[in-house]
A and B are shown apart, each in its own frame.
Chain A
């Protein structure tokens, strides 16, 4: 089974996981089918952990050295002899270009150990992390519906499905819409072979595929085995990712051709009996849809032939062309006449008349009214000529003849009518089925749309592919049609605008002349979202021509747009609430923190009037200046935060020396820092950094100011810069009381202590954080073991500029 592929796989390799919920055997079978391994499953592999497969036998190193091939793994849990986890070995093999197929069960996943244990009551010792699912290029979900579905099983199944959904979400990839569609037609025999072949072909082509079983409406299956075979094949196809269904059909070729046209199928796979060629529908299909590529798969016939006969009859193979009816009628009449002549002596004339009647009935049932009428006319005349005395007298003089003729003609007309109405009903059923499918698909696709553009794209695609019509949208407020290709739909823009306006104003819609273009307002509870303009193809069948169906489509689209509209509204409401909350916190902060220094300013200014002593006056003036300076810095902070907040921060980066920036910050704060001991530790050989000097100075100044604010006079403040791991780090530490409220000191308007006497609006650290992250660095807070507080930020070191030209001249 470890057969290396003939063709070398592209690097890196692929990993396909067959994922199931407690149905390892089923998954194994699926893997075998998928990898075209017809060998029976060795008994050893059926058991779980003790099997020796090739990974174990050959060893990882041997495999890694060998040219990459295909490897099937019965499980991913456990370890190799050298102690490597199997799933890790699989990861290395995949990287080395191997194509790997592996069976994985939900009970194998380490992250699910607890729920699985709770469900099954068993402990599975060997597990793999669910990373392996993310590693896989493809995860095939092997679904299983056992006869008696136990609660435990369905719990496991839903657990597995959730796990699968999580992996899908993590992958985040939207499925790429395949350009090609493939159709597999299965009969009552060999369906699984056809499905298998179609799946491989779809894989090769990267096509989406669907599997149908054409079945005469209302007819029963020829045997229970045939029914089971069809169901099995359809279920298997569903598990492999195909759309499946049984289509009511009287004529396979025509039904298939219809699907081919409607669904833009490019490839049809069908089984055909190896030894007999009675099934000629593929040839007929080739005539009806010449562009389609047909793959026929020979199928070994069922020994019970009668079932084929029956299906052959019921499918109405006899009918071929317009001339065929009368010819068949004449031939049938001739045959009955010959038989009647031969048996004339032994049969009553009445019985012979019944034979003619039978012929008329069969023709009416299988060919049509016209053939039956011809047969009734001809038959009644032949009966009269050959079986009513005087024999072979061509003149008609017996009124009885008229009764025979009338009876036969009536039978012909009634059966013909019945057949025709049956056909019509069948066609209607088919149409309705296609319509329902299209509507269902539209509804499903729209459910996932999140923008109106997506809605438009989805609707256009489904109209094009499923309904054979082009459509475009007219949105309110836009003069022209908003569609992907407006040229595809030529419509009356003035009329569209009038209809849209009427619909928006909730007025009755103006009438417009019938034609290939129809207009459907997108009406939803919240109002009219736009107008859907549909242009049906002239050759398109009644599917798209039905006004009511298009109205249903329009209302589906309108509901989707309505949902998007409300989602946006609620999102905006949330945003508004959030900004309202922020504004409130800003107002609270301002009312306390800005008013305090203002009150001090007013008071101090007033008090100047009563000062008599020169010394006291000087002190008051110093206090006034201090308070005003503080207020000025707060306003600066608020303005700066507003600027950073609106995203209006443009970095004017250039090569800067951090020593210089630190010097600048210290100079700017020389009066604030006057009562503290400041120590700088800046090595002389620090490289230049690319940054905005004023903003970085602001960060250092804010940190220094904080340190000064919260450290008592005489305290020590240390500022240190050093290079570590490709980054420049700057630390501002103090020996003050440290930060007590640790959680959110970097948030806006947050301060270590609420309502503190120390002035400030609590914006400093928020500003620092924004600036540092704008530079691609990080800012964080540390609690040094020596006490106090330490703030550290890093800035990325770039490649320093060269100084070649600046050498000493």
Chain B
């Protein structure tokens, strides 16, 4: 609380929401700059050197999607979308345009903070990709292309490993089906998402304790997948399992 963790630009036209989000972030030690319009937001994002953008999609002077498009032309600072719309197309569209994650209103403070932390965590290691990643009792070794569960090696096929590696690279963030297909299978298979379902199923059976109630390889319905490294994701984590 004493030292400033990071600067967050909050673009949100609804004053009540702006107020509580700002309060929650400041409470956690972030410096918050708030804007109520897209134009103001673009100016602030340009001259305040933010570490994170929190963006509402419905703005009085333009669509939040336009903001993402313009902002991504000159910055790779993470964008977290706040949207009252629960329509999947909009989420996918914002993610494909370059947003890093989204939160659907109404959301809780716990959930918001977890997403903010995940987005910022990804930003920090600018010194190249990590060699290993841990989640749960699993260890992924990217250089050796091997996966361990505890000390036991887990056998993964090349595609399964590529899929897991891609999710690890974006740990904590949602990745759309399209992004995964393009990265793992190549642009030719961009629309064949049923491959993805089957391989995700395989991965879950190899890595999850209960594949039908996963804790790490999470599904974002209609949008994509998210690898959660910390079970419970920061908000009230319930142990729902057989």
Contact = CB atoms under 8 A, between A and B. Distances in A.
B189 A805 contact: yes
Contacts of B238: 670-671, 673-674
A809 B159 contact: yes
B29 to A, nearest CB: 21
A680 B198 contact: no
Interface in B134-155: none
Nearest to A802: B194
A341 interface: no
A674 to B, nearest CB: 4
Interface stretch (B40-48, B50-58, B122-130, B211-219): B211-219
A682 B205 CA distance: 11
A659 to B, nearest CB: 5
B106 A678 contact: no
Nearest to A640: B86
Given A654-B194, A657-B201, A680-B242, A693 B237 contact: no
Given A678-B213, A678-B241, A805-B189, A655 B194 contact: yes
B131 interface: no
Contacts of A625: 108
Contact of A803 (B158, B198, B204): B198
A808 B201 CA distance: 15
B20 interface: no
A666 B199 CA distance: 21
Given A670-B238, A806-B185, A659 B211 contact: yes
A688 interface: yes
B42 to A, nearest CB: 31
A660 B214 CA distance: 9
Interface in B50-89: 86, 88
B194 A801 contact: yes
A803 B212 contact: no
B135 to A, nearest CB: 16
A809 B158 contact: yes
Given A667-B218, A694-B88, A682 B212 contact: yes
Interface in A768-809: 801, 803, 805-806, 808-809
A652 interface: yes
B145 to A, nearest CB: 14
B106 A680 contact: no
B197 A680 contact: no
Contacts of A719: 212
Question: Which interface class (under 10, 10 to 19, 20 to 34, 35 or more) fits A?
Answer: 35 or more
Contacts of B189: 805-806
Interface in A657-683: 657, 659-664, 666-667, 669-671, 673-674, 677-680, 682
Interface string B179-198: 00000010001001111011
Given A660-B201, A673-B238, A674-B240, A682 B157 contact: no
Nearest to A662: B212
A591 interface: no
B213 A803 contact: no
B210 interface: yes
Question: Which of B88, B201, B211, B240 has the most chain A CB atoms inside 10 A of its CB?
Answer: B240
A688 B198 contact: yes
Contacts of A801: 192, 194
Contacts of A283: none
Contact of B210 (A671, A680, A693, A697): A680
A663 B212 CA distance: 5
Contacts of B205: 684
Interface in A614-656: 625, 628-629, 632, 636, 652, 654-656
B221 A664 contact: yes
A629 B241 CA distance: 23
B190 to A, nearest CB: 13
Question: Which of B88, B157, B222 has the most chain A CB atoms inside 10 A of its CB?
Answer: B222
Nearest to B235: A671
A661 B194 contact: no
Contact of B192 (A671, A680, A805): A805
Contacts of B211: 659, 663, 682, 684
B200 interface: yes
Given A659-B201, A694-B221, A679 B242 contact: yes
B198 A657 contact: yes
B27 interface: no
A361 to B, nearest CB: 100
A662 B218 CA distance: 11
Contacts of B204: 659, 663
Given A660-B200, A667-B218, A680 B88 contact: no
Contact of B221 (A670, A680, A693): A693
A112 B159 CA distance: 70
A665 to B, nearest CB: 9
Contacts of B158: 808-809
A625 B111 CA distance: 13
Nearest to B215: A667
Interface in A709-727: 719
A455 B40 CA distance: 66
Nearest to B237: A670
Interface in A323-376: none
Contact of A663 (B157, B214, B236, B239): B214
Contacts of B195: 803, 806
A664 B159 contact: no
Given A657-B201, A809-B158, A693 B222 contact: yes
A660 B219 contact: yes
Contact of B212 (A652, A659, A673, A697): A659
B213 A663 contact: yes
Question: Which of B219, B220, B222, B241 has the most chain A CB atoms inside 10 A of its CB?
Answer: B219
B66 to A, nearest CB: 25
A652 B91 CA distance: 15
Question: Which of A629, A669, A809 has the most chain B CB atoms inside 10 A of its CB?
Answer: A809
Contact of B236 (A660, A671, A678, A806): A671
Contacts of B185: 806
B222 A694 contact: yes
Contact of A680 (B157, B201, B213): B213
A809 B218 CA distance: 25
Nearest to B162: A809
A632 B106 contact: yes
A663 B218 CA distance: 8
Question: Which of A654, A655, A656, A657 has the most chain B CB atoms inside 10 A of its CB?
Answer: A657
A670 B237 CA distance: 7
Contact of A657 (B86, B159, B200): B200
Given A662-B213, A688-B197, 6 more contacts: A659-B201, A663-B218, A667-B213, A670-B237, A677-B242, A809-B158
Q: Which 3 A-B pairs have the closest CB atoms?
A: A655-B194, A674-B238, A682-B212
18 contacts: A628-B106, A652-B88, A652-B222, A655-B193, A655-B194, A659-B204, A659-B212, A661-B219, A663-B211, A667-B213, A667-B240, A670-B237, A670-B238, A678-B240, A678-B241, A688-B198, A694-B222, A803-B195
Interface of A: 625, 628-629, 632, 636, 652, 654-657, 659-664, 666-667, 669-671, 673-674, 677-680, 682, 684, 688, 693-694, 697, 719, 801, 803, 805-806, 808-809
